[in-house]
Amino acid sequence: MSIKVRMAAVIQKLTNNQKEFDSEGSSVNELISNLEKQFPGFKAQILAEDNQVHQFLNIYVNDEDIRFIANLDTEIKDGDTVSFLPALAGGN
Amino acid sequence: MLLKIPIEYKNFIINHAKNDVPNEACGIIHCLDGKPSNIYKVTNVADSPYRYEMDGIEQLNLEKKREMSGEQLFAIYHSHVATEAKPSPTDVRMAFFPPGNFDAEPMFDNIFYILVSLENEIPDVKFYSIKKGPEVLEIDVNFE
């Protein structure tokens, strides 16, 4: 099962500056575990202390935000693209 | 450092900010060879007068567009509806990943953060750079 992973430019340092590459997993959680094996330290930057996705990090399966599907349990299948990008945000 | 910016960009940002009142407005400017080349409104999914969060898919699509065109990210702008044109502590915190990780380089090292304030009758537009530390520097801009 091949999953295409896409990292936003600003966090490509987490994946040895790779922008797009293939990985594996049947859920986002499993994919992140595999990415941790490929890029040690990856998981700690992506997940908060409660083991949930960091509040200001967005993960999309194709064009769907996983928060509106099943969060880390979101299923992924061969050929899907999973994108990681930090939110551009602020406020007064 | 004196930055020269076409006045159309300033007008675009002010009009966007006014149109989105009472909520904050946000967007992105691309550049080519260091000069602004395109400006894009981005949906504020926070839909709030007090904060903004750019729509992630629009953000991703603009990144792809830059890859195709050879442009680079030049600036991120957003409005403050009732406060001054200066990055708030939240704005500065969010310039880093994870937020508030001031010992690291900011997410974008060489871009400008543009703030437009609608606090007074005449909108105020100011440019800043945000560096490790955090260090927030206002940039002199000549709109022409």
Tell me which chain A residues have a C-beta less than 8 angstroms from the C-beta of B82: 92
Model confidence, pTM: 0.92
Q: Do B50 and A65 touch (CB under 8 A)?
A: no
Number of A/B CB contacts below 8 angstroms equals 74
- The number of beta carbons lying within 10 Å of the beta carbon of residue B38 is 16
Give the CATH number, domain containing residue B86: 3.40.140.10
Q: Do B63 and A9 touch (CB under 8 A)?
A: yes
Question: Which of B53, B64, B88 should be substituted to probe chain A, the one whose Cβ sees the most A Cβ atoms within 10 Å?
Answer: B53
Give the CATH number, domain containing residue A32: 3.10.20.30
Predicted pLDDT of residue B104: 87
Cα separations (Å) of B53 from A39, A70, B32, B69? 28, 21, 25, 25
Report angle CA B135, B138, B143 to the nearest 5 degrees: 155
**Mean pLDDT (whole number) for B20-30:** 98
| Range(s) of the domain holding residue A11 | 3-86
A79-88 core/surface letters (b: 16 or more CB in 10 A; e: else): ebebbbbbbb
Quick one: closest CA in B to A12, which residue? B107
pLDDT tens digits, residue range B68-127? 999 999 999 999 999 999 999 999 999 998 889 999 889 988 899 999 999 999 999 999
Find where tokens 């050929």 sit. A79
Whole-number Å distance between alpha carbons of A75 and A46: 18
**E strand intervals along chain B:** 2-5, 26-32, 35-42, 51-53, 72-80, 112-117, 124-131, 135-143
Residues of chain A with pLDDT under 70: none
Residue A50 inside a domain? The answer is: yes
**E strand intervals along A8-74:** 20-23, 57-61, 64-65
Tell me which chain B residues have a C-beta less than 8 angstroms from the C-beta of A60: 56-57, 60
Peptide bond into B98 cis (omega under 30): yes
Q: Where are the alpha helices (DSSP H) in chain B?
A: 7-19, 56-69, 89-93
Tell me which chain B residues have a C-beta less than 8 angstroms from the C-beta of A85: 56, 59-60, 63
pLDDT tens digits, residue range B45-81? 999 999 999 999 999 999 999 999 999 999 999 999 9
Number of domains in chain B: 1
Residue A26 inside a domain? The answer is: yes
Name every residue whose Cβ is closer than 8 Å to that of residue B83 and which is 6 or more positions away in sequence.
A92, B117, B119
Question: Which of B23, B48, B50, B63 should be substituted to probe chain A, the one whose Cβ sees the most A Cβ atoms within 10 Å?
Answer: B63
Complex prediction ipTM: 0.89
Tokens of B132: 């490790």
pLDDT tens digits, residue range A17-32? 999 999 999 999 999 9
Number of domains in chain A: 1
Predicted pLDDT of residue A70: 96
- Beta bridge pairs of residue B20: none
Question: Which of B40, B57, B62, B67 should be substituted to probe chain A, the one whose Cβ sees the most A Cβ atoms within 10 Å?
Answer: B57
Pairing mode of beta strands B135-143, B124-131? antiparallel
**Mean pLDDT (whole number) for B128-137:** 96
Q: Amino acid identity of B73?
A: L
Residue A91 inside a domain? The answer is: no
Residue A20 inside a domain? The answer is: yes
> In the structure, what pLDDT confidence band is assigned to residue B138 with cuts at 50, 70 and 90?
very high
Predicted pLDDT of residue B141: 96
| Range(s) of the domain holding residue B68 | 2-143
Residue A92 inside a domain? The answer is: no
- Beta bridge pairs of residue A22: A4
